[in-house]
Amino acid sequence: ILGAAQSVFSNLVEFSDQAADVRKTTGLTADEFDNLADSLKGLNTRTSLQGLLDIAKVGGQLGIAKGDILEFTKAIDVAVQALGDDFSGGAEEIATSLGKLNTVFGKELGPDVAKNLLNIGSAVNELGAVGAATAPFLTDVAQRVGAVAAQTKVGLNNVLAYAAVLEETGFSAERSGTALNRLFSTISTKTDASFKIAKLADSNLTLKEFT
CA distance 202 to 211: 14
**Where on the phi/psi map is residue 170: left (φ > 0), alpha (ψ -120 to 50), or beta?**
left
Indicate if the pLDDT at residue 14 is higher than 90.
Answer: no
Give residue 201's pLDDT band: very low, low, confident or very high (50, 70, 90).
very low
Name the percent of the chain lying above pLDDT 70: 83
Torsion angle of alpha carbons 174, 178, 184, 189, nearest 10°? 160
Name the percent of the chain lying above pLDDT 90: 69
Question: Residue 151 has what pLDDT?
Answer: 86
- For the segment 55-110, what is each residue's pLDDT rounded down to a tens digit? 999 999 999 999 999 999 999 999 999 998 999 999 999 999 999 999 999 999 99
- For the segment 39-55, what is each residue's pLDDT rounded down to a tens digit? 999 999 999 999 999 99
Question: Residue 207 has what pLDDT?
Answer: 61
CA distance 47 to 29: 24
Report the amino acid identity of residue 9.
Answer: F
Question: Residue 113 has what pLDDT?
Answer: 93
Give residue 131's pLDDT band: very low, low, confident or very high (50, 70, 90).
confident
CA distance 4 to 7: 5
Question: Residue 208 has what pLDDT?
Answer: 65
- The stretch 168-176 carries a mean pLDDT of 95
Q: Which domain holds residue 147?
A: 2-210
- The stretch 3-26 carries a mean pLDDT of 74
Domain count for the chain, please give it: 1
Question: Residue 183 has what pLDDT?
Answer: 87
Give residue 13's pLDDT band: very low, low, confident or very high (50, 70, 90).
low
Prediction pTM value: 0.80
Question: Residue 38 has what pLDDT?
Answer: 96
DSSP 8-state code for residue 153: T
- The stretch 142-149 carries a mean pLDDT of 94
Q: Would you give the distance in Å from CA 208 to the centre of its chain?
A: 30
Give residue 152's pLDDT band: very low, low, confident or very high (50, 70, 90).
confident
Choose among 122, 82, 116: nearest CA to 101.
Answer: 116
